[in-house]
Amino acid sequence: MKRWIADISKNKLYNNFAQCLYEIGKKKSERKIKLLGEVFIQYPDVFPADAFEDTEFFTKEISAAPNEHFLEIGIGTGITAIMMAKQGAKVVGVDVNERAVENAKKNAKLHNVEANTDFYVSDIFSKVPKQTFDTIYWNVPFCYSEIKELNNLQKSTFDYYYYHLETFFKESKTFLKQGGRLLVGFSNELGVPAKLMQYAYDSNFTNIKMLKRSIVEWKSKKGETKKWDLTLYEFLNK
């Protein structure tokens, strides 16, 4: 068993997640999945949108206005970005995983929203076009990791000492319109909420709302049922 974090109970669950991602990573072929009443293509080497409930839960709770400029960090299969484009938003999505960007583009074509979506390979904001957005959303990798070497699938779930989460808050105001919002998908029980709030306050995001919270269940490969929260936060740029 690896030591991901000092907290023993979290560490056991983190190891279960790592094992799940390892098993998923062994698959070699793409497949069709159904979320939010829609069919999407899931690549085997991209965060599995149907393995956990977060993608569906957070996407249901987010809406976008027509012509809203919407940026998603960590697009994975592109499901959230595509659903926002279907609502009429002008969407930019990025992911550090090149295969995720390919996967999102394929799903955008499948759902006829190519004209409203642009996807790039980018580590957080590094390759984001120089523009500002009404909304920036990230379903963050909320598992706090003390292990540095992570593969692309692991990076979708684990963040080394929350380096990327801190960077996200530090750099977001460059890309966020005045009066715009950061939306962050998080788990207070799986993650370290004190650090989330510290990074927000350090970057002068003090207008904070918890928009929605739900308790979900997940069954490990060993048949153990675990419960934790999914929480959507809003940070306003005022």
Q: What is the mean pLDDT of the chain?
A: 94
Strand partners for 217:
227
Q: Are strands 90-95 and 117-121 parallel, antiparallel or unpaired?
A: parallel
Which range scores top for mean pLDDT: 4-8, 27-31, 197-201? 197-201
Percentage of the chain modeled with pLDDT above 90: 78
Confidence at residue 89, expressed as pLDDT on a 0 to 100 scale? 98
Q: What is the mean pLDDT of residues 28-50?
A: 93
Find the length of the chain. 238
pTM surpassing 0.75?
yes
> Does 24 have pLDDT greater than 90?
no
Cβ neighbours, 10 Å, residue 147: 15
> Does 29 have pLDDT greater than 80?
yes
Residue range 67-114, pLDDT digits in tens: 999 999 999 999 999 999 999 999 999 999 999 999 999 999 999 999
Contacts of residues 207-214 at CB distance under 8 Å and 24 or more positions apart, as own/partner, are: 207/235, 207/236, 207/238, 208/233, 208/234, 208/235, 208/236, 209/233, 209/234, 209/236, 210/234, 211/61, 211/183, 212/61, 214/57
Q: What is the mean pLDDT of residues 201-205?
A: 97
> Does 167 have pLDDT greater than 90?
yes
Residue range 171-186, pLDDT digits in tens: 999 999 999 999 999 9
Domains and CATH numbers, the chain: 8-236 (3.40.50.150)
